[in-house]
Structure 1
C-alpha cells in the first residue's frame, strides 16, 4: 500500500542492539524533524528503557519498540515490555495471535516480520510471493502492518520492497540497512508507510551530527 508521506523512524540502535548512550543521543536530536523514535529490546536495562520512552513521549514523539525475536515466548515477552513502556508500535516478532492480543489490550499497533529470518543482525530469506501471501494472512488475523527487513534480504531487495509495498494492503516499514542516498531513492520509489535508520546515523553515512543527518534525511525523503 503505497503512501504519499513516508515517515522516518529513528532507531537508537547499532548492529540490532540499542546503543548504551541512547538517552544522551536522543537528547541531542529531540528537536530534529523526526516524529518517530524507537530502539530494540536489547541491551538497555529495562528501567532505562521505560524512562527513555516516557521522555520521548513527553517530547511529543511517537514511539516504537522493535523486538528481534522469532519464537512465541520471546514475542510475548517483548510485547509485554513494549506495553509497560507505553509504546505506540510493537515492531518485529513473527506473527502470533497471542502477541496481537497483548497489543490490542494496550492499544499498540502490531507490525510483525514476514519471511524466514535468522540471526542478529537479522537476515531475511524466502520467496517474495510467499512473503506477500503470509502478510495477507496476517492482515486477516489482525496485524496492523509489517516490519519488512528489505535490505537484509538474500534476494533482490529492491524488487521485494517495491512489490511488497504495492501488493500488501497495510502500512509497511522498510527496516534495516538504509544507509545511502541511493537507498533513500529506492525507498521513495517504493513509497512505504515508513522506514527506519539506526546504524547508518551512528556511522555518519549521511554526514554531520546525528541531528543533522536526521534532518537531511527528512528533507530528502519529503522532496
Structure 2
C-alpha cells in the first residue's frame, strides 16, 4: 500500500494563522515535505515571504483557495502565481481558472460537489462528484481537492468510493482530526491529506513539530486494511 502524504496547513478554521511564518520556522525540520495555507489571513507580501521560506527549506507548496465565485477563484490563482506556489487547491472549477493555472504552471486541484460556507461544508451525491472529477480531469486539471470530512453524508464512504474511482491525485482536505480518521485515510489511499486546525487544537500532541512527526510515523506504521 502507498502511504498518503501529509500536507501541513498553517491554518485554523479555514484562515491562515497570523504567526504562520514563525510557526513554520519552528517546525520546518519536521518530516513533512508538503506545506501550505489559505488565501485569507495574511497580506500578499507576507504570503510571498512565507512561501519563499518554504521553498528555501526544500518544501513543496500549496495554496488552498476557499472561494465560490470565478472572480474570487481567479484572484486566488493570481496570488498563487505571484507567490510561486506549486499547487493551487480549491475554488469552484472554471475554465478560466484552469487556463490561468496552465499558463502559469500551477497544478490545479479544484473542489467537487456543492461547497458552501467558511469553514467549508460539502454536499452532493457521490456519483455526481466522481463525474465532475472526470470532467475536470479531461480538461487538464492536475487532481482534485476533496473535502471528504466536511461532507454532510457518509464521509468515509465518499472518500473510499471517490479515491477508488478517480485515477488522479486526490487530496483529502479538512477535519482530519483524530487517529481514527487517520486510519480511514490510510485505507482510502489518497495521494495526500491535509491537517491544519487539528494541529492548533493539539489533537496529536503539543509542539507542532512533534505532532507532525507523530502523524507521519503513525501513517507509515499503520497496518494494511
Does TM, scored on the shorter chain, surpass 0.5?
yes
Structure 2 Cα separation of the partners of residues 131 and 70 of structure 1 = 16
Is residue 2:40 matched to residue 1:13?
no
1:111 to 109, 112, 133: 109
Pair 1:59 & 2:62 matched: no
Name which of 107, 127, 130 aligns with 1:129.
Answer: 127
SS of structure 1 residue aligned to 2:140: coil
Shift of 1:79: 0.4
* In the alignment, structure 1 residue 171 sits paired with structure 2 residue 165: no
> Partner residue of 2:39?
41
Task: Name structure 1 gaps, 5 residues minimum.
Answer: none
Q: After TM superposition, what 4+ stretches of structure 1 lie above 3 angstroms from structure 2?
A: none
> Do structure 1's residue 222 and structure 2's residue 217 form an aligned pair?
no
CA positional deviation for 1:208: 2.1
**Distance in 1, Cα, partners of 2:112 & 2:52:** 29
* Cα pair 2:3 2:186 within 8 Å, conserved: no
Partners of 2:56 and 2:94 in 1: how far apart?
A: 31
Matches of 1:199 and 1:220 in 2, distance apart?
19
Gaps of 5+ in 2: none
Q: How much has 1:143 moved relative to structure 2? A: 1.3
Over residues 191-219 of structure 1, what are the superposed CA-to-partner deviations in whole Å (9 max), with x where a residue is unaligned? 00000000000000001211100000011
Query: Aligned to 2:76, which of 75, 78, 88?
Result: 78
Structure 1 counterpart of 2:192: 194
Partner of 2:205: 207
Determine whether 1:101 maps to 2:93. no
Pick from 117, 137, 142 the counterpart of residue 140 of structure 2: 142
Q: Distance in 2 between matches of 1:169 and 1:187?
A: 17
Q: Residues 164-214 of structure 1: CA distance to partner in whole angstroms, max 9, x if unpaired? A: 000011110000000000000000000000000000000000012111000
* Cα distance per residue 1:147-175 (max 9 Å; x no partner): 10000000000000000000011110000
Count of aligned pairs:
221
